[in-house]
Structure formats: structure tokens, C-alpha cells
A and B are shown apart, each in its own frame.
Chain A
């Protein structure tokens, strides 16, 4: 499994990927994996009112990753939103991505009629 970000010929990066670079509109024809990179928590929340099929409470964090090495683009960083592995998290914490097969239950909720429309696996952030 990978945590896949995209980059364009002008050296812009984004997570998730887009067909065209959000920054300049060039095709985003390359991708890189940042699942092995340690990131830093920018902000977080613990949600206690979650939709059907989502764990409760659900602690979520936006994490910033320095992806210079894995993207080959100097000073590049991406942010990513994801679930945390613990409710005990603070802004500035260092976290690493940990793979999870099912982040929420595909069989309930609005998309349960067509669960194949979406991936349900992904990465949680674990404090290091």
C-alpha cells in the first residue's frame, strides 16, 4: 500500500493526486509515496458526533509531511487529513502513517449502496 501524492513538471506537489496540478494546471503525470515519512500535527480534533459506520470518538488530524526526499522536489511538503491511532494527540506531535484495511464500515451510510465507488483502506497517524 502507498500514500500516493502527485507532482507536476513545474515541481508542484499535492495530496491527494489530481488529473491537473491545482497550482498551475499542468498534467500531474508523476506520483510518489510518502507512507514512510514522519510528519508533524498541524491541528486536530476529537469528533464525538460521527456519522453511521464511523468510530466514535473519532480523532482526526491534519499532518504536514516534508516530502523533499521522496518527491525529489526541494522544500516540498504536503498536508494530509487522517484518523489518529489515539485520542491523546497534540499540535506539533511527530506522527507516522500506519496502514489500516478499513477506516470506516462500508456497509452503512450514504455510500453503502455502492461501496465500490470509494476505497475504504488508508493510513492513520501514530505518534512516534
Chain B
């Protein structure tokens, strides 16, 4: 059964006073309003969230949201796949409609993080690692530092190419009123910012963020009855790589990206050359390169050239992260994959405003952990 997206919304990302339950409710309400669907029509509700218990001592958030939105007695479930919880939520939502289990599925992703110190938030995220890694004080940023060093040394890539990713995504974010940072940065600023995990600096990393995003899914048939503005999930794949990061044969290959994108391309019957726009999980600048290579847009060790020659700019051949990416939009863990979906939906239905590019086929790649779990989704404009 063809699965369509008929509504999308997101709260302002950034430092928010609201706690998770109200952030989720805000995005959920706006999404139903966007599609003109009433709460009573919702049959399944998925809430993508990594760590509400660890961050604010609140669990059972799917039940809270179902009650707050008035969608009872809809089936509800919380989806945790760490940083890719949002993508995993898209997978669950797609499954629920494709299987016939639900005709109207609401997906809301969210996280509330900024009330913790950077150290506390880093520790919560680092708790996804294997105990043999955790006890050494490893953090996700330090995995990025080690991988970036290996990439730059092995492929002789210039350090500046990583900064170009940050500069590009900040530039894109200026046009996104929901982004945490609507502010351009210069190469100098990126290259001279404080070192966080050598050779990576502050501007190679996404910020810590509060926020929520939502998508509404239904069958293609029902979508046609309800609206002229919808997009179709034509391919989706999910895959898992090693839990222990150093056990991977090649530190520069994200197996989960390769495997999930292959599955998504196969389902959609397309390949990397068919993409018009993509949202990639730029939690760290180096990840944009690894994903461009993993999804088959660039050969191994060459994606840095696309940042340098302008290919991935908004006016380039394949715009990457028109939303501003996690880098400028922010990364409220469970919301991020959903927000990627919001951006490609808006691009495909022509609602991206100043960020609009010409796109019929879009891809979103949502990475959990350091490539531990990955969801790749391909969405196409309605015919």
C-alpha cells in the first residue's frame, strides 16, 4: 500500500522554556492542523524520543501525548533508536500504514536537553557506548575527532573542506525561521573556534537543542481524497552497524548508511543519480562526507571535493541540508530525523519558502550513535 505524508510541522528549535510534553503537543497539534485532520482520525501515534527519562525524569511520553492531543484510544508507542529515533519513527509510521494496521498515523519526535550542562548532556549521549568504550570517557564528539583525523590523513583531504560544511549549513539555516542559529559564519570563524576533539573545533559540531517535529502519514488513496499537497514515501531502509565503533573494518565507512540506503533505493527503484535534494545527519561536519559516500553520491575519500566545488550548496547540483542541517537548525535527538522529513516534505510540496529548490525526489539519512543505527528514507513528490 502506498504511503503518503500529508502534514508536517516543527516547533522553533533552540533553548526552550517548555518541557518535552508541551513541545510534543505543540508540534503534534500544528501537524494535524496543517493537514486538516481531526485528532479522532488518528489511529496510530508514534513518539520518537531518545532519553526523556534521563533528561527530565519523565517516561511514558507516548501516553502523555496521546491524552494531550485527544487521539485516544489510538495505538501509541515510543520509538528509541538514539539519534536516529526520528528516522526510526518514520519507519514505524510507514510500516503501520503500509501494513494496513493504521489508516492515519501521527509521528511526533522531540527532546528537551538544554536544561542540562553540556557535560551532563554529553554523558547521557555517551551512555549509548559499550562499557569498554564508556569507561575511557569516550564521547560522540571524540569518535568524530578520531574519524575526521583518519579521513583527512588517509585521503589527503584539506581541513578547510570540513569547515565549508559548517559554513554552508549555517548559510542555509539563515532562511529557516525554526533553526536554532539563523546566522552565517565565516571560514575564519570556523577554523579558529576552540578545539573540542582535535582536529575538530566548535563549529564542526551541532549544538544541544530543545524542540519537536511532526509528520502525518496516510494511504496514498486517502491522501488524494484529503489534499492536493502530499508526498509519497517511495523507499525506506534501516540498518545496524557494530555497537563497538573500533570493531568496524574501515573507520571511514558507515555500514548502516550503505545498507539502509541500498534498501531504500531498491524499494524506490532509483539510484543516487536520481536525487534532487537530501538532508544528511551533520551532527559533526565529517558525517556529511561519510554519508555522501555511504549513500553512493561520492566515491570513498572524495566527498570533501563536493563541499569544495559547490555541488552541495543550495544552488549546486545536489543541495545538501537546505534546512540548515543539524549544524544550524539544532539537534533535539528524537526530533532530528522527523525534522529532516519535515524539510524534504516541504521541499517536495513547494512550501520551503526562501529555502525552496527544484525537487521531485528527496532523501533523508538519519544516523544514530556514531553510525550504529541508520534510517534512510526516500520521498517523492505526488504525481
* Cβ–Cβ < 8 Å partners of A61 in chain B: 146
Against B, the Cβ 8 Å flags (1 = close, 0 = not) of A49-61 are 1111111001011
A43 in contact with B135 (CB, 8 Å):
no
Interchain CB contact under 8 A, B135 and A58: no
Among A16, A43, A49, A122, contact of B122 (Cβ-Cβ < 8 Å): A49
B138 touches A16 (CB 8 A): no
With A16-B132, A103-B135 as contacts: A44 and B146 at CB distance below 8 Å: yes
**Distance (Å) between the CB of B113 and the closest chain A CB?**
14
* Size category of the binding interface on chain B: 35 or more
Q: Does A45 contact B (CB under 8 A)?
A: yes
B218 smallest CB distance to A (angstroms) = 39
Within 8 Å CB of A117, what residues of B?
131
Q: Which of A52, A61, A81 has the most CB of B within 10 A?
A: A81
- DSSP class of B's interface residues: helix, strand, loop or mixed? helix
- Decide yes or no whether B119 CB sits under 8 A from chain A: yes
Contact yes or no, A81 B197, CB < 8 A: no
User: Residue on A with the closest CB to B252?
Assistant: A43
Find chain A residues with CB under 8 A from B123 CB.
51-52, 109-110
Query: Chain B residues near A9 (CB, 8 Å)?
Result: none
Q: CB of B155 within 8 A of chain A?
A: no
Contact A81 B246 (CB under 8 A): yes
A72 at the interface (CB under 8 A from B): no
A97 to B247, CA, bound (A): 18
Listed in ascending order, the chain B residues whose CB lies under 8 Å from chain A are: 54, 118-120, 122-124, 126-127, 130-139, 141-142, 145-147, 149-150, 153, 194-200, 242, 244-247, 251
**Would you list the 7 A-B pairs with minimal beta carbon distance, nearest first?**
A45-B145, A54-B137, A51-B123, A43-B150, A47-B142, A16-B132, A79-B246
